[in-house]
Structure 1
Amino acid sequence: MRLSHSCGMAAATALLALATATATPATAATPGGKDTNFLQAIHQSNLAEIAAGQDARTHATTACVKRVAAVLVRDHTKLDAQGRMLARNKGVSLPAAPTAAQQRQLAAVKAHAGTSAYDPAWLKAQAEGHTQALKLIDNEISSGTDAKVRAAARAARPIVAEHLAMVRGGVCHA
């Protein structure tokens, strides 16, 4: 299983691009509404993925799902730290928690803790969450107006796409 190496390489590449994108003074112009909305929504997506990954590390019934969860926590924590830095440099305030829908989805998965239904429910929720994140990213790449925010989206895309492949069955068959 090339889980750690390929995700690690993709994360390192994305972080390098994000670090370059965030190396601007705090006086940079605030991005337009579309870019601001992207930074806020992707931050909430990262928060949701981190929370779900932490929960799966505790409640998953298979070692594979626990390994995937650890990768998601690691990668989304790194991506979120860089996204927060970019938002701060751009003067964009970020929400403190995932959306209500994301919180409800995690609660629904948590309801299966301790049962054989947990892992399939978690993988399905992660597939849905990563599909939505890719839509956000692709929309930002194609129509965002801030070059640094678009660069960050481009850098994050391969990581999120790899996560989606993992949870759709490319790694675990729960």
Structure 2
Amino acid sequence: MMGLCWTAQAHEGTPHDTLAAGSDQLALEVDEAEAIGSAEVLQKIHANNLAEIDMGQMIMDRGNSEDLRKYGRILVRDHLIMDGMVNIVAKGLGVELDGASVNDDVAGFKESLIEMNEMLAATTSDEEFRAMLRAMAIESHQAALDLLRRAEKGAPDLSLRLLAKTSDPVISRHLQLAKEI
């Protein structure tokens, strides 16, 4: 099982406990690229882009150093661009990104992303914010890369495979930057 989940070293009685406990809700189970449909992949990428944009805004607002604020700007810029591409591909494939067509798995995924951003916003110290951000960003970007690479190899639609291929280097860069936080 591949998982998109944010975990951090658990410290009893802290938001880290909730991160670890919530990771099951955020898990993306993708055993084969073919096992996940184009609509679900696009909806999850869209939800992740929106969450990363929100996170980037939060980092720009709360970041106590220029490196954090720069990372926030990069997240906002890149995920806005990628979400524009997702919308184009979705429109071409007739996929609705939000609304009634979103299945329970995608809805739960979106809910978990919102909860994770709320937990990050609730941190009380700069050190806690930075540590939680780093853990969340590394795991989320690694899982996004796993999903993109599976879609690139096995998605039924050429446009989705191309989207995955062009998004890979951007998300790889985000992952590297997250490791440097």
* C-alpha separation in 2, matches of 1:69 and 1:115: 15
1:136 equivalent in alignment to 2:147:
yes
* 8 Å Cα contact 1:60-1:66 kept in structure 2: yes
Q: Does 1:56 align with 2:59?
A: yes
Distance 2:36 2:120 in 1: 33
Instruction: Give the corresponding residue for 1:85.
Output: 88
What is aligned with 2:102? none
Secondary structure of 1:37 counterpart: helix
The one of the two structures with greater contact order (alpha-carbon pairs below 8 A, sep at least 6) is 1
Structure 1 counterpart SS, 2:98: coil
Alignment of 1:12-91 (within 5 A): 34-91=37-94
SS for the counterpart of 1:39 is helix
Question: Which runs of 5 or more residues in structure 1 are unaligned?
Answer: 1-31
Q: Distance in 1 between matches of 2:122 and 2:179?
A: 21
- Show the counterpart of 2:129: 118
**Distance (whole Å) between structure 2 residues aligned to residue 124 and residue 73 of structure 1:** 18
Tell me the TM-score normalized by structure 1: 0.74
Identity %: 24
Q: SS of 1:75's equivalent?
A: helix
Q: Deviations over 1:100-119 (max 9, x none)?
A: 11111111111115533112
Kindly tell me the number of residue pairs found equivalent between the two proteins: 139
Q: Is the 8 A contact 1:61 1:118 kept in 2?
A: no
SS of residue paired to 1:138? helix
What RMSD, in angstroms, separates the aligned Cα atoms of the two structures?
Answer: 1.9
Cα distance in 2, alignment partners of residues 33 and 125 from structure 1: 24
Deviation string, structure 1 residues 143-165 (Cα, Å, up to 9, x no partner): 11111110110000000011001
Q: Distance in 1 between matches of 2:36 and 2:152?
A: 15
User: Unpaired runs of 5+ in structure 2?
Assistant: 1-34, 100-106
Give me the whole-angstrom Cα distance separating, in 2, the residues matched to 1:158 and 1:87: 21
Do the aligned partners of 1:59 and 1:113 also contact (CA within 8 Å) in 2? no
| Most deviating of 125-134 and 48-57 | 125-134
CA contact (8 A) 1:123 1:168 kept: yes
Query: 2:112 and 2:175 mapped to 1: Cα distance?
Result: 19
Q: Which 10-residue stretch deviates more, 116-125 or 133-142? A: 116-125
Give the distance between the partners of 2:93 and 2:124, measured in 1 at CA: 40
> Which residue number corresponds to residue 148 of structure 1?
159
1:113 and 1:45 map into 2 onto residues whose CA distance is: 24
